[in-house]
Chains A and B, each alone.
Chain A
């Protein structure tokens, strides 16, 4: 899990062009949206594509999105649960 979390951090920083942010700056339990990392709806779309492109996972039910993308840990758990880690 730790390895996947580290990988996700790097991928998110790269995909969302988080300038000046290093993997160590992000805690796996930080909220990605709102108060935490401050991501927005466009970033959400980028994350959906990231999951599809890098892990072959399609989010079929949009209602799940809020839960899956809450934190990096929740993303990693979801990927693991789909057997794609």
Chain B
């Protein structure tokens, strides 16, 4: 299964909406990150905007930027993945239920609390009555949406698919999951994430949309050549074996990979698997990482895909994401290796068109 990436749009804690390819990265002294908001009025009708929650604004704007970037006005399908959906509206609605003793509830937050609000809103905005689906599978949410997109394209049921991954951060969510030990207790400089050898990571958020197509075109960013997932691997050896098999299935070996994008998140408990892979399979290959720029969240692999597709198209690896030496020569193949809390592993192969 493969597809070309024709267009991209992303709202993140970096200034990615404005076409900045991580040239001027923003550092945070925190253990939670929020997106940098563009001027939403430039993208969304003010009448619609007033009712939209933050994540809805982020998602719809990322989708609009992606559509504009791709030059495709009407997709054959809109597919999104999200771990928590519109969590802020859910919190708002539940709090109102509690505070008002389940009476006098307003409809807006309830309507927008569903996970498929963004894909639905994008479809309404485009008047797109085609296939529309949202996947909520924790750390595989974006991956499942991607799988569905690739299958639609593979089977010829769609030629251009608008694919999105989004999750929003909130103080309530952060505090709740902090109790479960997800996040660092101390505030750190986000750009020094890998130097903090403590448990936990930085919570983050983002909305990323891609226009996938089966058509070759000089404007394509890259070819998404292969994709695989692995659930709860036994140990680091199983991950290494899975990666080797994955590359073999795509007629490649470790030596053919020019850059590996690791989902390193600075959590001393779960980063070893990446270092093991680097030391044992990719010790001659340049590396990169990204969670110091966007934080960790269920659909953060979408940020990695955004990074890789841009790197292939622009033939640039921003200094801020480099892990060790920069690769020499042409960037032909990038492998993304990411896991969410050592449970959901995903692997994506992004190649030059």
Question: Which residues of the other chain, B, contact A42 by a CB distance below 8 angstroms?
Answer: 51, 107-108, 111
List 4 tightest A-B contacts by C-beta distance, closest first.
Answer: A53-B104, A17-B50, A45-B107, A49-B106
Q: How large is the interface on A (under 10, 10 to 19, 20 to 34, 35 or more residues)?
A: 10 to 19
Evaluate contact between B104 and A19: CB separation under 8 angstroms. no
B-side residues, CB < 8 A to A, are 46-47, 49-51, 100, 104-108, 111
Closest to A21 in B: B50
Closest to A17 in B: B50
Evaluate contact between A17 and B106: CB separation under 8 angstroms. no
Evaluate contact between B47 and A38: CB separation under 8 angstroms. yes
**A52 is an interface residue with CB less than 8 A from chain B:** yes
Give CA–CA (A53, B96) in the complex, Å.
12
**A62 is an interface residue with CB less than 8 A from chain B:** no
Contact pattern, A 1-38, Cβ under 8 Å of B = 1, otherwise 0: 00000000000000111111000000000000000001
Evaluate contact between A19 and B46: CB separation under 8 angstroms. yes
Give CA–CA (A42, B109) in the complex, Å.
11
A-B contact pairs, 26 of them (CB 8 A): A15-B106, A16-B50, A16-B51, A17-B50, A17-B51, A18-B50, A19-B46, A19-B49, A19-B50, A20-B46, A38-B47, A42-B51, A42-B107, A42-B108, A42-B111, A45-B106, A45-B107, A46-B106, A46-B107, A46-B108, A49-B104, A49-B105, A49-B106, A52-B104, A53-B100, A53-B104
Closest to A44 in B: B107
Question: Which residues of the other chain, B, contact A16 by a CB distance below 8 angstroms?
Answer: 50-51
Give CA–CA (A18, B51) in the complex, Å.
8
Give CA–CA (A49, B110) in the complex, Å.
14
Give CA–CA (A42, B51) in the complex, Å.
10
Q: How far is the CB of B81 from chain A (nearest CB, A)?
A: 27
Give CA–CA (A15, B109) in the complex, Å.
12
Give CA–CA (A12, B108) in the complex, Å.
14
Give CA–CA (A18, B104) in the complex, Å.
20
Question: Which residues of the other chain, A, contact B46 by a CB distance below 8 angstroms?
Answer: 19-20
Q: How far is the CB of B60 from chain A (nearest CB, A)?
A: 15
Q: How far is the CB of B72 from chain A (nearest CB, A)?
A: 30
Q: How far is the CB of B226 from chain A (nearest CB, A)?
A: 44
Closest to B52 in A: A17
Q: How far is the CB of A32 from chain B (nearest CB, A)?
A: 14
CB interface residues, A 42-64, toward B, < 8 Å: 42, 45-46, 49, 52-53
Closest to B40 in A: A19
Question: Which residues of the other chain, B, contact A19 by a CB distance below 8 angstroms?
Answer: 46, 49-50
Question: Which residues of the other chain, B, contact A15 by a CB distance below 8 angstroms?
Answer: 106
Give CA–CA (A46, B112) in the complex, Å.
14
Give CA–CA (A20, B40) in the complex, Å.
13
Q: How far is the CB of B124 from chain A (nearest CB, A)?
A: 13
Question: Which residues of the other chain, A, contact B47 by a CB distance below 8 angstroms?
Answer: 38
Closest to B100 in A: A53
Q: How far is the CB of B238 from chain A (nearest CB, A)?
A: 50
Q: How far is the CB of A37 from chain B (nearest CB, A)?
A: 10
Closest to A47 in B: B106
Known: A45-B106, A49-B104. 18 other contacts (CB 8 A): A15-B106, A16-B51, A17-B50, A18-B50, A19-B46, A19-B49, A19-B50, A20-B46, A38-B47, A42-B51, A42-B107, A42-B108, A42-B111, A46-B106, A49-B106, A52-B104, A53-B100, A53-B104
